Amino acid sequence: MSTNRPGAPMTDSDAVLAANLEFYRAFGLRDYAAMDALWSRAQTVLCLHPGWEAIHGREAVMESWRLILADDSGNFSVQCHDERAFLYGDIAIVLCEEQLPGGTLAVTNTFIREAGSWRMIHHQASAIIPQYNPNASTQLH
């Protein structure tokens, strides 16, 4: 829980959520250097972009982000909301939702404490499919 007092030390949960927000800042600004700085250099990193095959290894993951961030084919925005941090010692998982122009994705971002900072080791995003409502009308208009 955050203390929200000026000058109070940042909790681990606050620090992980700040790292998660920095990820979305870099993503939204298409800032490859900032994105690269967020990912672990000491651990094997993993990524599963929507519709892509799983990627592992820092070089492959960062190449995927270089391609995504270089795509300026249209109006782009990304927002993160409903983020929740779960801490397990030096590992932290953030569950959140990404709002993109094409829809909302459910996301898992995993961080590890590395040299005193939280670094990303895994990002997975997948489409949120509307739930089936058996009471909804099936009549076509």
pTM of the model as a whole: 0.85
CB atoms within 10 A of CB 17: 22
State the CATH number of the domain containing residue 19: 3.10.450.50
pLDDT tens sequence across 3-56: 456 677 889 999 999 999 999 999 999 999 999 999 999 999 999 999 999 999
pLDDT for position 141 = 42
* Domain annotation covers residue 63: yes
Is position 135 within any domain?
A: no
Instruction: Supply the range of the domain harboring residue 32.
Output: 12-127
- Domain assignment present for residue 118? The answer is yes
Domain count, the chain: 1
d(CA 31, CA 29): 5
The predicted-structure confidence for 69-121, as pLDDT tens digits, reads as follows 998 877 778 999 999 999 999 999 999 999 998 889 999 999 999 999 999 99
